[in-house]
Structure 1
Amino acid sequence: MQPESAATDFQISLSSDLNRWRFFVVIAQLGSLTRAATFLDSNQSLLSRQLNALERECGVRLFNRTGRGVALTETGRLIFDRVVALLKDAEQLDQRLQDYVKAPIGKVTFACFTSIGSTLAARLYDDLRKDAPGVSLSYMEGNVGQIEAWLADGRADIGIVYRYGDTLPEHEFELATVDSYLVGSTADRWTSRAEVQFSELANLSFVLPGTPNELRSTLESLARDMGFSILVSMETNSLPLMKLMVAQKGLHTTLPIHSVLDDVAGGRLQASRIVNPPVKRLISMAISKSKGPSRTVSLVSTRLFDLARAILVDS
């Protein structure tokens, strides 16, 4: 695909020597050629020549010389913020280039829900230690709403989230589609079968996440369509507490099977797949839009994608 504008469309003259503009910013900030020369590890006469050359290129004075130092002229003040922005953009470009020529380094933060987060973090740590030792990993755990907020404000670079429906937002990639299961205690008759009809949920008391929550909304909408309401006896976003209330207090919840696989295998809980209709959950990986993926984030997201899919397939 051709770029929207060719390189020859750009007319660059005054901004071609970024070092001179860096000198301009430092001199303006320090208000003195002497202090600027010391800061830049240069000499005052060389700095003065560079400044004079820049002003000749611009065709206008950028500084007023005073007995106490230098101060920006009106023109200098007008362009100062734009010059700072230009230098920051150049610095970001330089960093991006360095990312591509060096081994990946830096900290990457990923966020996930409780059910697979710890397993995924441990496997990702081992993977990065072996193949990308310069990458530092940070892990945050929360519900979908929290993860979305962390991605939005840049606290998380990558997030694993649940979605309900057939389409994904931009910057998200599908990992798997999983069924929802009705989870009960080992003495519970409703979960003693392989499958349970959605209509049978009308007879049960639930412990579910607090609102707003996509799962709650989906369950309540389906129940309304069938003429009943979901009875929520307790709200919590804590997966361990949900399991405790199910195992010891006779409540029910709905979870994907990977969330309770060990509990079912260990004889602590039972789980039946919800059918007619099934409640499908789409698990996706989201990339923060606030910062954009660096090479390091791109590397980690690729590894994370493969590891998460493997865990979900195994379960």
Structure 2
Amino acid sequence: MSILMDVKRFEFLCHIADYGSFSKAASVIGVTQPSLGRQIRKLEQECGMRLLYRNGRGASLTPEGAQLLLRIRPLLKEIDSAICDLQADRNSARGAVSIGMTPAVSRIIGYRLLLAAREQYPKINLNIVTGYSGYLLEWLASGRIDVGILDNERRADHLVFDHIAQLGLSLVSAPGQARLPEQANEAIDISALKNLPLVLPSRMHGLRRTMDIAAANAGISLNVTYEIDAHDLVREIVLAGAAHTVMCALAMQSEIERGELVAALLTPAVSTRLLCGTPSNRPVSAASRLIIGLIKATLAETAGERTGDISIDYGGSLSA
């Protein structure tokens, strides 16, 4: 039996004691009288004693019920006060928060995050900027952004990173440009990348380093025909069939659903770890902390919908 339900039953008991009647209390609470009666009987069973006298004129507390309410009322007030304080903190959260994300993360959760922030924290002015991890690291250090969502292990002066999720990587191609599996959600062996022309970011960024390590482990060399640090240009190159790329397929989900691109998860599984970076040499604002929580919640919601492409990482923090 849940604690929340127990608290509600105590509140019901208080209402009956205050109004001296099941019918009046039920009307105020907004439940039916029989339902209220069942809840009180369950409470009495849990306590192992009668808490109310019931008669034709209404209801009154037994001595045991009166003694119980003497101790319960202050606790109920504390619970109400705590909830009110939390709501006040949320409603008063205000200020500007600048979040830096990789292009893939922005395409996966950016719009959802904006909508959720506007609904839950209307007084927070949220700005989202995108860039590959190397740029985000510089922007975090310089104070251009308040929070950075970037990939791969990092160590940097005055920055702290928390692991928050992992993105599964897929080969993404124009239709007919690679021998991808015919069935959706099937995987392709990483060795198939050996002779494919690829467009990837430069080596200063986390995704490229992840792929270089994965290729070395597989005993192959990557044919990086284009080294591009502009996500929109990478997308154009792949759409034109000039090269293939590797990324989380969710970042190209719209194009895949329209049939403009196809994707297959790499095997053995290759993933990039998402980190939430914040400065250790300047305070993180209350508004920034709320947005970080919203980012984690949005990623978790997306992970629940697409478990093959994204998973939540409950690892610890990494600091300089």
| TM-score bin, normalised by smaller chain | 0.5 to 0.7
Letter in 2 for 1:288: P
Q: Does 1:301 align with 2:292?
A: yes
Amino acid aligned to 2:196: L
User: Matched residue pairs, number?
Assistant: 213
- Counterparts of 1:21-100 in structure 2, within 5 Å, are none
Asked if residue 291 in structure 1 is aligned to residue 285 in structure 2, the reply is no
> Are the aligned partners of 1:258 and 1:312 in contact in 2 as well (CA < 8 Å)?
no
1:312 shift after superposition: 4.2
> Bigger shift: 207-216 or 123-132?
123-132
Q: Matched residue of 1:221: which SS? A: helix
* 3-state DSSP of counterpart to 1:190: coil
Describe the shift of the 1:261–1:129 C-alpha distance in structure 2 as closer, same or farther (beyond 3 A).
closer
TM-aligned CA deviation for residue 305 of structure 1: 1.8
Structure 1 partner of 2:262: 270
Q: Deviations over 1:179-237 (max 9, x none)?
A: 21011111124224422111121121111101222332232233334443111111112
Contact 1:153-1:290 within 8 A present in 2 as well: no
Q: 1:114 to 1:137 in 2, by over 3 A?
A: same
CA contact 2:113–2:295 (8 Å) conserved in 1: yes
Asked whether the 8 Å contact 2:173–2:241 carries over to 1, the reply is no
Residue 137 in structure 1 maps to residue 126 in structure 2: yes
AA in 2 matched with 1:230: L
Secondary structure in 2 matching 1:171: strand
| CA-to-aligned-CA distance 1:220-255 (integer Å, 9 cap, x gap) | 233334443111111112222222212213411101
The structure with the larger Rg is 1
Contact 1:183 1:191 in 2 (8 A): no
Contact 1:163-1:214 at 8 Å conserved across structures: yes
In the TM superposition, what are the counterparts of 1:135-174 in structure 2 within 5 Å? 135-163=124-152, 171-174=160-163
Q: Which residue is 1:110 aligned to?
A: 99
- Structure-2 separation of matches of 1:306 and 1:131: 12
Q: Deviations over 1:39-61 (max 9, x none)?
A: xxxxxxxxxxxxxxxxxxxxxxx
Contact preservation (8 Å) 2:91, 2:121: no
Amino acid at match of 1:310: E
Q: 1:261 aligns with which of 225, 243, 253?
A: 253
User: Aligned residue for 2:41?
Assistant: none
- The CA deviation at 1:118 is 5.3
1:49-84 Cα shifts (integer Å, max 9, x gaps): xxxxxxxxxxxxxxxxxxxxxxxxxxxxxxxxxxxx
Q: Pick from 197, 204, 213: which aligns with 1:205?
A: 197
Over aligned residue pairs, what C-alpha RMSD do you find? 2.7
Does the Cα contact within 8 Å between 2:214 and 2:270 map onto a contact in 1? Answer: no
